[in-house]
Amino acid sequence: MTVRAATAFPDHHPPAHAGPVPRKAAVLSRLPLDPYIAALLGTVLFAALLPATGGGARVAGTAANAAVALLFFLYGTRMSTREAIDGLRHWRLHLTVLAATFAVFPLLGLAARGLVPYVLSPQLYTGFLFLCLLPSTIQSSIAFTSIARGNVAAAVCAGSFSSLAGIMLTPLLAALLIGGSAGISGHAVLGIAGQLLAPFLAGQVLRRRTARHVAEHRTVLGLVDRGSILLVVYAAFSAGMAQGIWHQVSLPRLVGLLAAEAVLLAAMLTLTGQGARRLGFDRADRITVVFAGSKKSLAAGLPMAAVLFGGGAGLAVLPLMLFHQMQLMVCAVLAKRWARQGGAAVGWRDERDDGPDSAPDGGSDGPAREPGDGRGGERRPGVAPAGEGRRPAPAGVPRR
C-alpha cells in the first residue's frame, strides 16, 4: 500500500524510487559531519566559552521557549490534516514504527541500567534512558528514506505521527520510568503539553490561513527550525556550565557513553530491519521502518528536557546530542549503500536483498517491475529484462 506524500513536504516526491534524490538529502548523504550538527557543536562550544548567566540566562530561556513554541506551531501548520488521515491507511507500518520508538527503545534503555556504575554514571544513564523515550525524527528520516529509495510518503506520515504521539507519551514514560530521580512531576508533563501540544494544535486550526505563506517561505522557516534548536542548546548548556557539567563527565565515562549508544543504535537498526521483514513489508517499506524506527528527535528532545530536568538539562541532553550525530553518520552510510544496491534495477533485483537486513535466500516480497520504468508497472509477460535470459546483440546487429 502506498501513501500519498503530504503536501506540507513538497521537496519529497513519492514514490522515492522513481524520482531524483532531493538536494538536501544528497548533501546529507555525502557529508561525514552534517553542517547542522557542526553548528550544534559550535553552539555548545560557544556556551562553554560565553555562557548566559544572571539576567542573560533568563532572556535566553525565554527566547528559547518562544522559539520552540513557534517551531511546533509551524509543525502544526505544515502537517495537512487530510493527508494525516490518508496516512492512517498504512497503519501496520506506523504501528511498527511506534512500537519500535516507544516500546523497544525504552526496553533497551531499561536493560542498560546494568551499565551503572561501571560504564555509565547515574546522571548519564538518566540522559541515556530519556533518549530512549523520545519520538522519532521527521526531516532526517525523510531525507535518508529518499536517498535509499524507500517509501518517502510513509516516512513523512510515520515521522509526523511519532512526533505527535511523543508530545504526550514521552513525558508520561519519563514520569513512569525516570520519575523522582529527575524530579519529573505531573506539572512538568502538563508544561510540555502547554509548550508543545498547544502551539501544534493552534497551527492545525489556523492552517487554512497560514499554510500557503509557510510553503512560500520554506527557506526562511527552515532557518527558524534550526535556529530555535540552537537557542535551546545554548540555554541548556549555559545552565549546565553554571553547574559544571564538564567536570562531572570524565573521558572514560564519555567513551563508555559512546560505546553504549553505538550498541543501542546497532541493535535498533537490526531489530527494525528484521522485524519489518518478518512482518512482510516490501523493500521500500522496510527502508522506511528502519530509518523512522531507529532514530530519535533532537528537535523534540531538547525542549522536553528543558521542561523535565530544568537546570539539569545540560547533562541530560548530552547523550541525545551524541546519539543524534551518530545516527546521522551511520544512516548516511546505510542510505548510500542501499541506494547503490537498488539503483541499477530498482524493483527487479532489489529484493535479492540488499536492502535492510538482507535475507540469504534472496526471495522477493512482491511482483517485479520493469527496470527503468518510473511508473513501477509489472514485468510484461514473455519479455526478459536486460541481463536476464538474453544476451546483448553484437555490434552492428540490430536487436529484435
pLDDT in tens, 25-36: 454 445 556 676
Q: What is the DSSP string of 33-57?
A: S-HHHHHHHHHHHHHHHS---THHH
Over residues 276-285, the mean pLDDT reads: 94
> Over the stretch 97-131, which tens digit does the pLDDT of each residue have?
999 999 999 999 999 999 999 999 998 999 999 99
Over residues 310-329, the mean pLDDT reads: 81
Q: Per the confidence metrics, is the pTM higher than 0.75?
A: no
What pLDDT was estimated at residue 147?
86
Over residues 156-163, the mean pLDDT reads: 86
The DSSP call for residue 193 is I
Cis peptide upstream of residue 398 (ω within 30 degrees of 0): no
Domain ranges within the chain, ordered by starting residue: 16-352
What pLDDT was estimated at residue 32?
54
Q: How confident is the model at residue 285 (pLDDT cuts 50, 70, 90)?
A: very high
Class of domain 16-352: mainly alpha
What pLDDT was estimated at residue 391?
44
Q: What is the DSSP string of 261-312?
A: HHHHHHHHHHHHHHHHHHTT--HHHHHHHHHHHS---HHHHHHHHHHHHGGG
Cell, residue 61: 530561556
Over residues 194-204, the mean pLDDT reads: 80
What pLDDT was estimated at residue 230?
81
Q: Which of 320, 331, 329 is nearest to 132 (CA)?
A: 320
Q: What is the mean pLDDT of the chain?
A: 75
Q: Which of 181, 195, 165 is nearest to 66 (CA)?
A: 195
Could you give phi then psi for residue 223, rounded to 5 degrees? Answer: -65, -35
Q: How many residues are present in the chain?
A: 400
> Over the stretch 351-395, which tens digit does the pLDDT of each residue have?
445 556 543 333 333 333 333 333 333 333 344 444 344 444 444
The DSSP call for residue 373 is -
Q: Which residues have C-beta within 8 Å of that of residue 72, sequence separation ≥ 6?
A: 195, 196, 197, 199, 200, 203
Distance CA 203, CA 73 (A): 5
Q: How confident is the model at residue 41 (pLDDT cuts 50, 70, 90)?
A: confident
